[in-house]
Structures are given as C-alpha cells and as structure tokens.
Structure 1
Amino acid sequence: MASTAPRSALSPENLGLLEAVARLGSMAAAARELGMVPSALTYRVRQVEDALDVLLFDRSARRAQLTPAGAELLRSGQYLLDELDAVAQRVKRVATGWEPQLTIATDAVMARSTLFELCEAFYATGAPTRLKIRAETLSGTLEALRGGLADLALGVSADASLPDIQTAPMGQLRFVFAVAPHHPLADIEHSIGDDEIRPHRAVAVADSTQRGNGQSFNILPGQDVLTVPTMQHKLEAQLRGLGCGFLPLPLAQPYISAGHLVVKAVQRPNHVFRVGYAWRRPHSGEAGQAMRWWLERLQHPTTRSALLENHHVG
C-alpha cells in the first residue's frame, strides 16, 4: 500500500468518511450512506491510519468504535473544518464586501419579537448574507463571541472588556422578585429576607457557557434549585408556582398587570443591570457590510430599548 503523507490524509473528505464510520458504527453502513463500495471506504480509512501510524477504530467489537486517538482526530478535525469554512468566508467577504454568514448570539433577556423584526428588515435589503441566531445565557453570550462562534453578541455585560472585542451600551434592565399568587411567599406583606426565601425553591436559568460552571445569581446556600434552559422557561416555571426568583421587569410586566405574578419587596440591593452589545473587531480593513448594517441599527436608542423591553405575551 502506498504511503500517504499525514497532511494529505487529513483532507475534509477523509475526515467526513471517519465521522460517518464513527456515527454509524460500521464501515458497511458508512459506505451505503456515502454511496461507496465498502472495500473502497475501508481502504481509505487504512490509508489515513497508515499515514498517521495510529489505529483509529477498534475493530474487535461488533461496532466500529473509535480509539482514543480516533476520537481526538475527529475532535481536532472538526476544528480544522471550521477553520476552512472561516477562511472561505473571509475570502468571500474580501471579494464582495458581504459576509457569507453573520452569527448573532442573543442573551435570554433580549426581546425575540424585536430581534426578528430586525431580521425582517435586514432581509428586505436583499443582502446575500445568511443570518444565524444563537440562543445564549449569561456568560455564554460573550463566550460565543470570544470563541469565534458568533460575530455579534446582544445582551452582554456593558462592563465587559476583552482584547479584539468592542462593546457598546444598550441600556439598563431592572429585575424584580416575583412569585405566583398561590406561592407561599405571595401573602407576605413585609420586605422578605434571605432566611424567609431560603426554604423555597429558586428557579434559575442555566449558563450556556461551555467553560467551567458558568455564572449563577441570587441562589442562597442550601436553597433548592430548579434549573431551566431559557428565560421563557423560568417565567413559566414561576407562573406555575414551581419556584421563586428574579425576572426582567419588561418580560414579567404583562403577567404582573394581569395578576398572574406578584412582585415582592426583598431585602436585597436594587437589581438593575447595565446591558450592552459586543462585536469582534476585524483584524484588517473594515467590518463587512452585514455587520455594519446591524451596528448602524443598534446605534438607534429606539432599537436598543425595544430589544430590552418589547416582550409580548403569547
């Protein structure tokens, strides 16, 4: 068998073959999916193994299982494929001025209706850029930007400061402590202390960060916690009386006005957060036209206010 150079072995095509075998569990199944003769696929896999001088699959089991070396190759290979896609996008942006894709990470406190209104306005321009929206929470919003998974982040801390990332203020967001009318804390008339809150379950939104344990706020030591994936889940859990906690006032206000939530005074500092948006500075030249369009819209106070406040019921 002719030897293949390691760099040649790590082609996107070969990485795709290896991913299919790992996902489907057999060479034969992968060959069917890829429209190949099984012997040809097996030959290609062995070429990669010979080039790297490692065994990528444990063939002693009934299923083709990745060895630790094979698993690492697929993890690193995905990074290589993402980098190739990024290079292609950068080249196209240089040629046309428009990014092939713009990824926007949006924190759970952003108003979805306003976000989609902005998407409608962007598409109405006829721009060739594809939009991708990532739902993030807490530190995961900024991490998506920092890690290259997003180009623009809405709802980050206005105090964030990182190299190669530009931030701008969006506004202030007030949080209120709210419970359902049938929750045990609803009938308390005085300002509620931590010792009174602790016996009752808190509802917390999970931080979407992939690094460490992420952030959590207003959880007392020893307090039971129901962790949910989004702010909308948190709202519904508290409407059902499954727990208590702080909610963004613009999101909670329609339910407060309708009597479905009760705001309680608590012996805590005023919960007002400075919210901002952030984007990655281009390493060379100007930002692409799609990014410039979004940044121009975000310069309008009405747009920033709507992203924080226009939470509609239903």
Structure 2
Amino acid sequence: MNSLISLDALQTLDAIERRQSFAAAAEELYRVPSAISYTVNKLEEDIGVALFDRSRRKAELTPIGRLVLEQGRQILKASEELTAMISRAVDGWEVELRICIDSVLTCGPIYDLIEAFQRIQPKTEIRISEEVLGGSWEALNDDRCDLVIGAEGASPAPGYAIHSLGKVKFEFAVAADHPLTKQPMPLATSAIQDYPTVIVADSSKRAPARSSGLLDGKSRIIVPTIEHKIEAQCKGLGVGYLPSHRIKQELAEGRLVLLTLESPRLPEDISVAWRRGNTGKGLNWFVGRLKQMSLDPQQGVLTQDIE
C-alpha cells in the first residue's frame, strides 16, 4: 500500500510551521512559493482534509494539520536516524554491539571502556548481557553477542579468536560464624561434606552444563550469579569457592572468612573471545583496547599493560 503522505510533504509542513510562512519555507527549501503551495494543496487533496485554516489573514494549522505535523516530525526523525545508521554501516561501524560479561568479573572497568568508545562513536548502541561459565560461549556461538569478556576455560569449538586476560584466583570462604571456622586447618574433604555447597548455575540453555569448583557436598544451593553466591555464603547458607577479588569488602567487614583446604582450587584462565571474521569497527576497537589490558590478580580489575 502506497502512503499518501510523502517525506517531502512532511518536510514542507515542518518548514512552514517553523518559519511561520509559505514564503520563508520556500526560501529554506530552495523552492519558489508556488511549489510550496502546490505541495500543501496536493497533500490536502490526497488525504481529503484541510491542513491549514485559510479563513484568516495568516494561514494557520488546523487541529488535523497539527496532528499530521507532530506525527510527521517523528517520521522525519526516524528517517534521519535510519539514514545515519546506513551511513555508519557502510563505514563499518555497527548499529548495535552486543557485549557479554561473564559473572566472574565486575562491570566497572568495562563501563570505563564503553564511556571511552562513546566519545568516538556515540551512535552505536551497546547491549550488555551477563552469562555464567558455558553460557558465555553459548551466547557467542548462538550469535546472541559479538564479544565475550571473561570467558572461562578453553574454547569449546573452533572458529573463535581468543585473547587471554589472565587468571582468576578463588578462595574457600564461609560466614564468620560458620561451624567450619572452628575446625583444624587445612580442612579435609570429609569435613566439608556435612554442609551445602553454594554453586552458580551454568547459564547454558542447550549445551551440557559446565561446573566449576564443586566440593562433593551432600546438598547444593544453586544461584544465578556470583553476586548471589557471595550473599548466600555471607548468610551462612552454604560454603564454596569465591573469586578473591569479589569478596575483599566482605572479608574486611568480617562477613566472610577464608579457610584453607587440603586440596585448594587452582586459578582459572579467563579470556576475551569473539568470532573470527567479524570485522566490525566497534568490535575491533574493543578488542584492541582489551589486548592492552590484563586482569590484576589481587584487585580483580582490568588494568592497562605497561611495556
């Protein structure tokens, strides 16, 4: 179905209302006044309603004319935005860039990168999501994100480019008043089995769920994110490993204490990952900055590498 209202007609109405006369609108649009009058008359004829009240000395918009103009300006704005999107896409900038952050990391340093990116490319929409363990890789594989920051472990399939950020250190932590704090150290596995283990659920939807740092306890409390896991362990609901950089405040406040085990957990490799062949300028900008950064094992933040 062809629209009776063209962009040209809407631009003409907009210019008339802003400049307050047909003659001034003609000057702005580089047309003769008769062309402006023809455009308005043709639009009124096509839609079957008067847009201007001509009974007065100065033509004014009718209520219907005001409605057409107000809605038309939204169409003009959308048209301008679409044109800009096409221009950016032609130049190689993404209309939308989807960044997945693994739950093991905090988002603060990533937001600093986004702020820097917006200064050079403010029109690219950034969409942030959070995944856990295999969910990060699955999001990349299913094209639900363009970039993963903090992907744990090795790539489950070929076709991804990877840059290592470093290793995350994990500590066994319990609530300050937990019964395990009264046990001799290092703790044996048999001592832990009497208490629930708090684990973060793998956010994979289809792939077999991956696990990390399980302690073979009799029961488990499954939570969706590291943040929930920290809170559950602070309340004494269970025990488990936590990223050391995520619990500094809880340790300082005495809400958590660290215990040693006979078999401590090894640090976990985390990486930046993206699909090979993705040549978007926004993605390349983030990858370039992230390649100059690494994870501070003590603070748990991404810091600029100094060569």
TM over 0.5: yes
Who is 2:198 aligned against?
203
* Pick aligned residue for 2:269 from 274, 282, 285: 274
Who is 2:140 aligned against?
145
For residues 97 and 308 of structure 1, what CA distance do their matches in structure 2 show?
36
**Residue 223 (1) aligns with residue 218 (2):** yes
**Residue 237 (1) aligns with residue 232 (2):** yes
1:254 CA displacement: 2.3
Who is 2:182 aligned against?
187
- TM-score normalized by structure 1? 0.64
Who is 1:295 aligned against?
287
The within-5 A match list for 1:60-209 is 95-160=90-155, 162-209=157-204
Deviations 1:228-276 (A, max 9, x none): 1110000011111111100000001222233221100012244211111
Deviations 1:196-226 (A, max 9, x none): 1011011111110001451123334452111
Deviations 1:106-145 (A, max 9, x none): 1101111112222222222233211111110001011100
Identity over the aligned pairs, expressed in percent? 32
The 1:193–1:110 alpha-carbon spacing in structure 2 relative to 1, beyond 3 Å, is same
TM-align CA RMSD: 2.4
Is contact 2:199–2:229 with CA below 8 Å preserved after alignment?
A: yes
The 1:305–1:92 alpha-carbon spacing in structure 2 relative to 1, beyond 3 Å, is farther
1:291 CA displacement: 0.6
* Pick aligned residue for 2:300 from 283, 299, 309: 309
For residues 94 and 192 of structure 2, what CA distance do their matches in structure 1 show?
49
For residues 267 and 306 of structure 1, what CA distance do their matches in structure 2 show?
22
Is contact 2:186–2:259 with CA below 8 Å preserved after alignment?
A: yes
For residues 154 and 181 of structure 1, what CA distance do their matches in structure 2 show?
32
For residues 122 and 95 of structure 1, what CA distance do their matches in structure 2 show?
19
Letter in 2 for 1:251: R
- TM-score normalized by structure 2? 0.65
Letter in 2 for 1:288: G
Who is 2:252 aligned against?
257
Is contact 1:200–1:223 with CA below 8 Å preserved after alignment?
A: yes
Is contact 2:138–2:207 with CA below 8 Å preserved after alignment?
A: no
Deviations 1:147-172 (A, max 9, x none): 11111011113532632210110011
Who is 1:55 aligned against?
none
Query: Which structure is larger by alpha-carbon Rg, 1 or 2?
Result: 2
Letter in 1 for 2:145: A
